[in-house]
Structure 1
Amino acid sequence: MKKAKYALIGTGGRAEFFYGSLAKDFRETGELVAFCDVNQTRMNYANKLLVEKYEHLEVNTYLAKDFERMIEREKPDYVIVTTVDRTHHTYIVKALEAGCNVITEKPMTVDTEKCQEIIDAVNRTGREVRVTFNYRYAPHNTKIRQLIRDGVIGEVFSVNFEWALDTQHGADYFRRWHRDKRNSGGLLVHKSTHHFDLVNYWLGTEPDTVYAQGGLRFYGKENAESRGETKFYQRAYGSRNSKGDPFAIQLAENEHLKAMYLDAEIEDGYQRDQSVFGDGISIEDTLGVIVQYKNKAILNYSLNAYLPWEGFIISFNGSKGRIEVKVREQTYINSGGDKSDEGAIQEKFIQVLPMFGKPYEVEVEETGGGHGGGDPVLLRDLFGTPAEDEFRRAATHVDGAMSILTGIAGNISLRTGQAVKVDELIKL
């Protein structure tokens, strides 16, 4: 069988999840041929990991300005896009038009214009875009899909969904490039795309109308000052004020973070360790969203990024009963540790409450790997020989669009104070 050839653009924190898997587990079905990035130091470090950690040969490297030349020379079948969110569409569209299929990290993009560009490019080229929603593959989330699909609680009328980010993981979005909404679309797009996709997937429907409220309530200099906090600094590196601060990340003390970010600053000036209580944060940390879906179900959703625990609490209310779910996750700092720890399950509870029956708990067997065992299944689906999937977890560009459009509509609602009709945002 001919191996598929893969090139990857964006060798930051999320990239190793993909290239490490290709190098280690899927050598028989896939071949990694090139890295592309705006930063040569970071690509050199990715190659170093390939050789020392994965016993793989170095691959060719190209600066981002030479992206088209890379495709012309390397002729990849797939381009993996793991760049800053606001640039996803640029490389997705260029790859599609060069004859490649695309695997992209979530979110697919950050606003309606860029989303439309991707949709038009797929329609124009006939090529494929896969969006890597690993939460779909987590066994407990698949089980929820099965329970709803099988009509255990009948028709679902409403969903209450609370997502909690703790002060380790949640704070990290306010240190990185994500803190600028132009880069990430804010947490309603960058993070909540996972959650909105899950609701679309669980209920088998699409969003119709979105209304949102929220703001920056905990992080940021103004909020810290209002609480009487005075321990300010612009970034942790080189600051005595950051020592012992639980909200600071010390790049120099972590070999991996130092090599990937601190040593690479000389090229692009990107600071991975900005203060969560500094200026320049334009994303929200406290969010509430109401969504009505095309099947008339209603979602009441909240996200908070500064809580004492990490995970989600959700309830589904249907014509024949109720499902209650609580999942507590392992906290994780992006690029700061073992990828298998990401989203690892610490506590899990799924209970069905029939309308006229005795409540019962649903057991779900977790397997090894990140996100409760979902990551290895996703990677096999992407790079190996995928097994037949009755749950149809592979996500297309339409799935990617429907998830981000809930968040994009939420961002519009935050600005205008009005409910937003999703169908008016783009044309499929």
Structure 2
Amino acid sequence: MKELKFVDVGEGITEGHIQKWLVEDGSAVKEDQPVVQIETDKAVVNIPAPISGSIKIIANKDADVKVGDTLAYFGSADELKAAPSAKEVQPVQRKDAKEQVKPNEAAIAPGARAKEVLATPAVRKLARDLGVDMSQVIGTGPNGRIVENDVRAFASKKGGAPIPKFSEAKEESHKGEIERIPMSQVRKAIAKNMELSWTIPRAVHMDLIDATHLFGIVEKEKQKMQNAGTKLTFLPFIIKATIEALKENPKFNSSYDKERQEVIVKKYYNIGLAAEADDGLRVAVVKGADRMSIVEIANMIEELGKRVKDKSISIDEMTDTSFTITNIGSLGGGYLSVPMINYPDVAILGVHLIRDMPVVKDGKIVIGKVLPFSLTFDHRVVDGAEAVKFGNAIKGYIEDPEFLEML
């Protein structure tokens, strides 16, 4: 009999949420067959079966699990008869002492013994806010896990007044009815990253690029590329131009070590691309983009975009950026904006919708294809003059017909 545990999937992941089981309890599965889908704060990961055999599911759908928790058992039908049930499985010993709620001595009933409690950080915080000693609460969740309703019910009994379950209750005020919607693991991670980003002293540089020649190349080659199986857009050219500008302005391809007060200049070019999913933003990474051709980058962008949408993108494909680009123009709107820096990057480039605007050609005003861009940068690492120089370098490459024709 083989035990399936929620293993460390990297990038500091410590907990997850079981979205769904991909197989039925008691069914036969093959080795390496995906059996359960778990949402972490980075991505949705599929956990495969370690061996071939029948499966006995221990952790239920919608359960919150920690690294090391038992999810299921695999083996023959006879072996699984001896497997413990969900109630018999003991949670792993938690190492994070900060998450353990200290018993409130005044709230402990006479003769009661302190016990290890199993609950998410959000539920623990709720208990602290309500003055609830979690060692006295009986958990109704999977494996005896204490859930929000358990804490609120206990607090209601202790204080006598019912406490509404905010995640479901509809509240009214003089302004009208409202609804509270719980945040997903991914949305919580986005919120945390935005808070980190907000700690960066930022500034923004904006400019316009004459993309008339670039527009012509894409329009000319688009159908031919499509016939060959490649969806050609402006973005691969923008990525290549940005990489050349990064080589000339290496501080923008870096991160800042606040503790040691050092700038970590990266000698690789992993370009993060902000991509929208139905449950929040992801940053998919084109790794080693400097070594790739326009066609290779275009194919990679399309493949990563599909994986973001169907939630099959791996954590490795969303980490280790050196610089990030957000293609606001692909959403169909926006003239200029101030993108949030993708922590711990030093800068982010926002490119907008290419539109017809007046440009000067040979002393005459004509209508050209203009690409607005915004460059948000960490003012601790680079100054405004350096940002203008970097922006001008990007602009120069995109406006250079010879550079574009070489790609």
Q: TM-score, normalised by structure 1?
A: 0.22
Q: TM-score, normalised by structure 2?
A: 0.23
Q: Relative contact order (alpha carbons < 8 A, sep ≥ 6): 1 or 2 greater? A: 1
Larger C-alpha radius of gyration, 1 or 2? 2
The answer to which structure has the higher helix fraction is 1
